[in-house]
């Protein structure tokens, strides 16, 4: 059985936006209509990888011993036309 998409007219969509977003966040697709004719579809975004906060890359990044040396910083400045 195919479930029917939730449908709101534009006025309802404006007044019920929070409810519509909640439904979409839970995987539903919502259609917005004008004068009974569908004009837009609100769909959930594809799940993207999210960082979990500070330190989420711990153990995945390594630095060379001279990563913050004056010589390295001068090279980077020169690359960007910012010679001291």
CATH number at residue 10: 3.40.1620.10
Answer with the residue of higher pLDDT: 5 or 84. Answer: 5
Strand 37-42 and strand 6-9: the pairing is unpaired
In a domain, residue 67? The reply is no
Q: 25: which residues sit within 8 A by CB, 6+ positions away?
A: 44
In this prediction the pTM is 0.53
Residue-range definition of the domain harbouring residue 22: 6-42
In a domain, residue 57? The reply is no
In a domain, residue 65? The reply is no
Please say whether the beta carbons of 44 and 25 come within 8 A.
yes
User: How many structural domains is the chain composed of?
Assistant: 1
Check residue 2 and give its pLDDT.
43
Check residue 3 and give its pLDDT.
55
In a domain, residue 25? The reply is yes
In a domain, residue 69? The reply is no
pLDDT digits (tens, 9 = 90+) for 26-82: 999 999 999 999 999 999 988 766 666 777 778 888 888 888 999 989 999 999 988
């Amino acid at each position: 059985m195919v479930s029917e998409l939730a449908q709101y007219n534009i006025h309802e969509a404006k007044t019920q936006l929070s409810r519509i977003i909640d439904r979409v966040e839970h995987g539903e697709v919502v259609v917005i209509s004008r004068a009974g004719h569908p004009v837009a579809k609100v769909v959930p975004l594809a799940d993207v990888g999210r960082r979990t906060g500070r330190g989420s890359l711990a153990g995945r990044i390594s630095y060379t011993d001279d990563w913050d040396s004056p010589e390295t910083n001068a090279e980077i400045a020169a690359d960007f036309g910012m010679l001291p």
